[in-house]
Structure 1
Amino acid sequence: MIVYFTGTGNSRYCAAFLGEQLGDSCLDVLPLLQSGAAADLRSERPWVFVTPTYAWRLPRLVRDLIRGGRFSGSRDAYFVMTCGEDIGNAAAWNRRLCEEAGLRYRGTLPVVMPENYIALFTAPGAEEAKAILAEARPVLRQAADWIRAGADFSAGNTGGLDRLKSGPVNSLFYRFYVRTGPFTVSDACVSCGKCQRLCPLGNIRIQEGRPVWGDRCTHCMACICGCPAGAIEYGRISRGKPRYQCPE
């Protein structure tokens, strides 16, 4: 079973591609996250967890879902992590997570996808995004071949900088940068409520027709990139930057 979490569509795209290649089912964990229910899933085929990379690690909400869930049947677990550039030393943390969850770690594969963390970076234009997606597809086909053959994903090389990024920098990122205060909404808001529906942690409520953020956020950027009116910004850094949503 392919289990995925997505904020702006990159990981959904990869999960669907792998599902087609492997003839396997895909499960979006958004309803589980929004309900707060523990995962209780069974699959006789390998578990393939497809997620974005947040500060060179799995998103913490995905880590907690795996750690606190029940995954019966197959014990094999593969990780496919979408990223704008690299995943640091995420593989070591995924291996440790599998030990905690009683799963057999089979490797972590980074897949470069169009950048969408517009709180810091600029999303690509349409043509550049198409080129990035074209380069990602052979990587995903190779991943499917390895899974189908029961082989481990090829291990990448990591160094001191990777360990630093996935260790102390990750902790500092969540402690000092993952905040909701900088989110603002302009008069372009059409009060559609899509941001509220997309928020994986139920952190957005609509008040007097406008979104209001609570104190829980994973910085998935779903609210910004999913806003049909382009009304949501994150501080001054993202102002005027193009949004990106991966095609279905």
Structure 2
Amino acid sequence: MKTTIYYFSATGNSLHVAREIAAKLEDCTLVSMPELRESKTILDDAERVGFVFPTHYFGLPPLVSSFITKLETDKDSYLFAVTTSGSNRHFSSALQQVAMLLTEKGRKLSAGFHIDMISSYTPLSDLPPLEKTNKKLEQAELAIEKAANAISAVRGNHEAEHFWLPFHAINKYWRWNLLPHAYRKFSCTDACTSCGNCEKVCPVNNISLHAGKPQWRENCQECLACLHFCPVKSIEFGSRTAGRKRYHHPKITFTDLTNPKK
């Protein structure tokens, strides 16, 4: 059975999940959503089509919702979504939002899964100790395997988001009122070496170097990939990230995210 998995990943959690699921499926192709962001329409005739992405502000990242809106699939395709986050499914509206977007297109979400992983949103809180991080990632592997088995068997599965409505409202408020100004919160310290990693890892090409220093434009996704992949930790977001740890999934490298076809 032909399968396509479209993924968006900033710090590697979702890419790792997408790879693990793909490894359990025959004839599966992984495709980066950011690489297709300029496409007006995306056609896919695979029998199984999946979306793997992080939860941002308790819901969908704008890049993901835009992608799903442009995607056209066969009416009988098995459509699944897998979202990664630093909290459990009851603090999310992501799957419900995917279902609503597909309903608007005359399609149905066949299965949805939450994978509780490490939150990379360090403006809110620092990363947990290494021992706790490793334990949480080990537990995530079990959830990934469970999701992969259900997808492989083409089973209907819907992990309920019982409190999705208020979290959907929070996500909408963030997207319309906070996200447009997020780029102004980024700053760069004198530790910057002008390596350009931030420019390369940005999923929407929103960063450019001027006089060797990064400048952020208005199309920010607030994914914080630039902050986490700065090798000298020179990038800050607001006033709370200074001194806090940086993160990427231990099995995902900078090259994995910037050169997905290699």
Question: Structure 2 length as normaliser, TM-score?
Answer: 0.86
Root-mean-square deviation (Å): 1.8
Corresponding residue number in structure 2 for 1:175: 176
Q: CA deviation at 1:122?
A: 1.4
Q: Structure 2: where are the runs of 5+ without partners?
A: 253-262
Give the TM-score of the pair, scaled to structure 1.
0.91
Aligned length: 243
What's 2:248 paired with? 245
Seq. identity, %: 27
Tell me if structure 2 keeps the 8 A contact 1:183–1:233. Answer: yes
Alignment of 1:95-244 (within 5 A): 95-156=99-160, 158-159=162-163, 162-167=164-169, 169-178=170-179, 179-244=182-247
Contact kept in structure 2, 1:194 and 1:227, CA below 8 Å: yes
The counterpart of 2:53, out of the listed 37, 41, 51, is 51
**What one-letter code is carried by the residue in structure 2 that aligns with 1:40?**
I
Please report how far the alpha carbon of residue 73 of structure 1 lies from its aligned counterpart in structure 2 after TM superposition.
7.9
Instruction: Note the C-alpha offset of 1:177.
Output: 3.0
- Of stretches 207-216 and 65-74 in structure 1, the one that deviates more from structure 2 is 65-74
Q: Secondary structure at the match of 1:127?
A: helix
- Which moved further from structure 2: 173-182 or 50-59? 173-182
Contact 1:42 1:73 in 2 (8 A): no
Q: Are 2:199 and 2:208, in contact at CA under 8 Å, matched by a contact in 1?
A: yes
**1:42 matched to 2:44:** yes
1: CA distance, partners of 2:34 / 2:131: 29
The CA deviation string for residues 35-90 of structure 1, in whole angstroms up to 9 with x for no partner, is x2235242423111000001121211111111023335862211100010034233
Q: CA deviation at 1:173?
A: 1.9
Moved more, 237-246 or 16-25: 16-25
1:64 counterpart = 2:66: yes
CA distance in 1, matches of 2:223, 2:239: 18
Q: Is the 8 A contact 1:91 1:107 kept in 2?
A: no
